[in-house]
Amino acid sequence: MSKLIFGLLVFGLLTGVVLASVALAEGTPLHYLEESISRYEDYQTTNPDMPFDLVVALINANVDKGPYTDIETVSDPSFIGLLLNKSFAIPRSYVPDDLIRLPGGGQLRREAAEAFAEMRDVARNAGLNLAVRSSYRTHGSQIGSYNIVLNDYGREAAERNVARAGHSEHQLGLALDILHISGTTGPITSVRFERTNEYTWLLEHGHEFGFILRYPQDTINIHGFVYEPWHWRYVGVEIASKMYEEGIGTLEEYYGRYLAPGVRAKLFPPRMTHPTILISEW
């Protein structure tokens, strides 16, 4: 039996190498990093139907590493397009210095707040009502949010539904939990939000104001969180529009294609100029 298992493991590894080699023969993705080839091959082995360019992007974003292991703490969390998940963290002490209050309560960083106000007004002119359920949270309040789910539903549910403190986009002041409030039915929250016209409108127009659906359906294997139709993240119009136009579903994939340090160094060498200066400077 042990020989059979060993044989299957070897076959799986060789399959990953062959798939990766075939993909490279068809053209090397621009975000391909030579130093990560063994990780690409391993991930391709366990995800044989995944396009190789997506494999490369996800590995560049450390998706193959276990949740909350080998964590990289970001020293400067002020970049609007920052990737924050179970592999990347921000300091406990981080508080955005440009938070402003939203109508009806809550806070966001100024740029995100102004973008949401514009988006809400445009949606209102279309007969839609975007309201905020939750916005900026402190490190301490995120601990409380996690512990509530942990105590009520257990660790597995907590890990799938709530980010640990230091890993929450809400602490960035760039994330919103959006709901619809109807004068007849009251607030429509949670997964029911996906059945609203507001949600459909956001999917089509959110990028025009710099917002992305952060945890789409069937992407828990990428970032570790369940589908959250209410959770929208501000990343700026440039990034959000590029994700929309290229069909990039998660910020992890965008990071792996354009923002990972090795990719940035490859795409934007020191002597090379590029109009997308935002990406090369971060």
Q: Which residues are catalytic?
A: 228
Q: CB of 122 within 8 A of CB of 205?
A: yes
- Burial grade of 275 (CB within 10 A; 0-12, 13-18, 19 or more): exposed
Q: CB of 223 within 8 A of CB of 250?
A: yes
Q: CB of 251 within 8 A of CB of 88?
A: no
Helices 197-205 & 110-125 angle (0-180, nearest 10): 120
Q: What share of the chain is helix, strand, coil (3-state, %, to 5)?
A: 50, 10, 40
Q: CB of 139 within 8 A of CB of 171?
A: yes
- The token duo for 162 is 């709530």
